[in-house]
Structure 1
Amino acid sequence: MGHAVLLGDSIFDNKRYVGGGPDVVEQLRDVLPVDWSATLLAVDGDITTGVARQLRSVPADATHLVVSVGGNDALGHSHLLQRPVGSVPEALLAFHAAQQAFAHDYATMLDRVVAMGLPVAVCTIYDTPSSEPAYRVIRTALAFFNDCITRAAFARGVSVVDLRLVCDDDGDYANPIEPSVQGGRKITAAIRAFLLPEPTVRHSAVIAG
């Protein structure tokens, strides 16, 4: 028996984007055993600092926490893609400042999540659909933010669901930034693998110390 709680943004809180189809939490409930439950606390539009507010509503019987947040933080720095620069190092330094600010906020958030004393998984920020005109630019820019997520997770012994690998088809997206029903199905399968790992399935191991 278990109780999974979903925290973060519209990657989980995607009901308004699936045209009446099942959202992520509905699909997760469908793939979990009958004695499991799932609660959605993620809020469409929230940034990393908003997770602290969500944590105040975690049910007392929660057994696992899953966090997908950071995409809206990255969107807040999208103006950097239009910033005139005189050299590649100058462009990298502009992203470095944004990366450092996000790294601080994400680490602070994750410390609060880990302090709940429950098993935790975090999700990376997935790529936009490959059919998007700016796909290569966006994918490259998101690497600055995903580096912060993986570093924070690995340093704390937290599991990672890499949505860049999970959502690898244009049909996984309802729009450039939210998951479709198809994408939600793949995301919930990955979450289930974290909650109920199959002993015969190989998983990556990260040695951080």
Structure 2
Amino acid sequence: MQDQNNQNDSSLISHLEALRKTLIHCFVALGIGIIPMFFAAPYALDFLSERIVASTNASLHYFSPMEVFLQQLKLAALFDVALCFPFTAWEIWKFILPALYEDERHFLRGLVWLSSSLFVIGVVFFLTLCFPLILKFGVSFSTESLQPVFGVSNIVSLGIWLSLAFGVMFQFPILTYALVRWGFFFIRICSKKASLYHYPDFDSGSSFDAAGHCKPTDAGHSHLFAF
């Protein structure tokens, strides 16, 4: 009995040691990656400003001495996480790999890369299509006595949070597939419900409800986000 307890303790210690090494490797990679991303952040902010000027004929303003610097740090941190994501994902994958069966390894290996690709597609979809539309919609309210003034902090925060929201929303196909694969839903049952109770209409309603909570409340962008 004592030998079994000692074996369990040593197994727990080895797992904690492996977790510690994984976290150290991830944080070291993030610390190294933040340096070049900090120098790239000003160019990204200039690119964002040029896109705003080109699409809305408006300009960005900052209202405190440190605002631009803080937004550059925020962009640098975001780019750093994106740049180091393959390495951190690989480290996490190596940590959980010994506990998985062969079929689980094969499934999760494809799932990680598919999830990453869909997240990038969602972010690119927002930045290239939806973000300019949101800015144009905001500028459309301007009058002779009401002119838009965009703050750097507001624009950067809006772009980051909605980029993350679109990236997460593009994970829904994977979530649905995983729920079906793990037995929470069955394709045959879903098909019967779809034919008897018009289940796709319920899916559309859920999509519009989620879009209303994640996006501004104008109808055009809510429809686009729900799609």
TM range (shorter): under 0.3
Higher RCO by CA contacts (8 Å cutoff, separation 6 or greater)? 1
Structure showing greater radius of gyration is 2
- Which structure shows the bigger proportion of residues in strand conformation? 1
Instruction: Calculate the TM-score normalised by the size of structure 1.
Output: 0.26
Instruction: Calculate the TM-score normalised by the size of structure 2.
Output: 0.25
